[in-house]
Amino acid sequence: MSRIPRAPVIGVGLLGLAVVLALLATGQGGAKPAAAQPLTPHYECYDIVGSDPPDVVNLQTKFGAENDVAVGQATKLCLPAGKNSTQIPEVPHLKCYTIDGPPPAPWTSLTTQFGVQQHVELGRAKLLCVPAIKTVLLPSPEPPSGPLLTVPHYKCYEITSGANDPVDPVMLKTQFGTVSGVQVGPSRLLCLSAIKTKLPGGTPEGSLSVPPLECYTLPPAPPDPPRGVKLETQFGLEGAPPAAPIEVGPASMLCTPALSPVGGIAEGPGLAGASAEETGTAAESSGWSAAGYAALAGGLAAAVMVLSTGAWYARRRLLR
């Protein structure tokens, strides 16, 4: 019986060790990193008592189309907000109107900077949020917030099960001021980007490519100084003289960008321009940090060294 040379056997063993080292360096056998979650925009939403426009619209989201939706009373004014070390984003203000609509898909999963939620159940549609021009009239006049845009629109569904309850307090900044140590409450709404068409014969406005928002309750706050504003949306102008300004109440909701798998596809790309505080959160969600890349480089270097040593040893044994 012929003997199997020891050198090739050792070489094969060393090659296997190198493969194991490379797999360990990737963390999970070469698993693809998860999509980075979007980092902006955030909105802080204040209570208002607004008009009840006599409009009917068609709405389309990633969950499907809904026709002949009656637009009800305006109840929220949402201001772009900076959270912790991020700056106030340059995005439109939102005015939110009550609507009613059937529940969408049975459940979805959500990822925000406050964590990951599985099997989130959604109820009926509650709000339609559209771009608005805000002009402060009281206590002192301020210029309009910007031109009237058509993007973004949001259709907001009630979260009936699987709500997330953040632990760490945050600092929030809007054009109305800065508040530290805000303890955010459980999530209450999922707002999907929407395309709105006013009836009859209106032009579609909005986009389905805007990242969704998950909206959380805010605790009751001390009364702010009275503020009066006028608001203009595609549904009309409200609060302009000689009419009384719209009175802005306390903040009641924080909306933060989310990843929401709809039909198996995660909506919302990662956005650039984030601070170190926000970027750290996104790195944790993706599963690929600087330490991960260092481990990969170290593992590959070790694999190359082991392969070189094995080849050298095998060559010496075979040439004897």
What mean pLDDT comes out for the span 157-185?
93
Residue 31, φ and ψ in degrees, nearest 5? -65, 140
d(C-alpha 306, C-alpha 241), whole Å = 80
Higher pLDDT, 42 or 85: 42
- The tens digit of pLDDT for each residue in 90-131 reads 999 999 999 999 999 778 888 888 888 888 999 999 999 999
Task: Provide the pLDDT confidence category of residue 200 given band limits of 50, 70 and 90.
Answer: very high
Separation in Å, CA 71 to CA 96, 127, 194, 199, 261: 10, 9, 14, 11, 27
Report pLDDT for 261. Answer: 61
d(C-alpha 156, C-alpha 95), whole Å = 13
Report pLDDT for 264. Answer: 43
Residue 60 bridge partners (DSSP) = 65, 195
Domain map (residue ranges) of the chain: 42-285
What type of residue is 41?
A: P
Report pLDDT for 262. Answer: 56
Whether residue 259 contacts residue 38, with contact meaning beta carbons closer than 8 Å, is answered with yes
Task: Provide the pLDDT confidence category of residue 37 given band limits of 50, 70 and 90.
Answer: low
- The tens digit of pLDDT for each residue in 39-68 reads 789 999 999 999 999 999 999 999 999 999
Q: pTM for the complete prediction?
A: 0.73
